Amino acid sequence: MSATIPATLVRELRERTGVGFMECKTALAESDGDLGRATTLLREKGLASASKKMGRTASDGLVVSYIHGGGKIGVLLELNCETDFVARTDEFVSLARDVAMQVAATNPLYIRREEVPAELLEKERGILLAQVKSSGKPEKILEQIVQGRLEKFFSEVCLQEQPFIKAPEVKVEDRIKEVIAKVGENVVIRRFSRYQLGEKVECEA
């Protein structure tokens, strides 16, 4: 390992990533002191580690509320982790609030794509296929185009597939993995309810 990595650089990387001193020093050595590359390296390692934790049981956590638009939209969201200790950390609390705000802003219908009913998915696929066929695209690429549009559909209706509103370059699922990597526990969006003033209100006779 290079002995020329200055402590100030290690400290800056720690502040950026929240990762320990030795891990930061190793990442900087592997990236020849390039702060950007070292940050990416730590993020990749962290996400890989987070993926291994995602199968663990998470039964603690928080129920948070978020009110938007001067009381026009409200969200209740349950975010789970493995211990009460992590549930009280700033990182976890901040994530819970951010995800509740995401629900208020984007109105997702499901948490993950596996929850989308098969009949709805087939209906959407049929609509997309009809649209593509009417566009005159070559037959051999129709399925590829339909699949691409289905991915867009998932990114609109599934919370974890949506671009994270505070960092649209990553998905909500990726933001959750980043928190898992930092807190060392599995983190799961369990459920949510979104309320909008006047929604589905029928006129009385």
Listed by start position, the domains of the chain span 7-53, 60-112+158-196, 117-156
- CATH number assigned to the domain with residue range 117-156, chosen from the 4 options 1.20.1070, 2.40.50, 2.60.40, 1.10.286: 1.10.286
* Spatial distance between the Cα atoms of 129 and 115, rounded to a whole number of angstroms: 22
pTM (whole model) above 0.75: no
- Residues paired with residue 61 on neighbouring β-strands, in sequence order: 80
With a cut of 60, say whether residue 192 has pLDDT above it: yes
Q: Write out pLDDT tens, residues 152-171.
A: 999 999 999 999 999 998 89
The pair of three-digit structure tokens given for residue 83, joined into one six-digit string: 């211990």
Give the pLDDT confidence score for residue 152 in this predicted structure.
92
DSSP string, 77-139: EEEEES-HHHHTSHHHHHHHHHHHHHHHHH--SBSSGGGS-HHHHHHHHHHHHHHHHHTT--G
Give the pLDDT confidence score for residue 204 in this predicted structure.
44
- Residues paired with residue 168 on neighbouring β-strands, in sequence order: none
Domain 7-53 annotated CATH 3.30.479.30 = no
Instruction: Calculate mean pLDDT across residues 63-87.
Output: 93
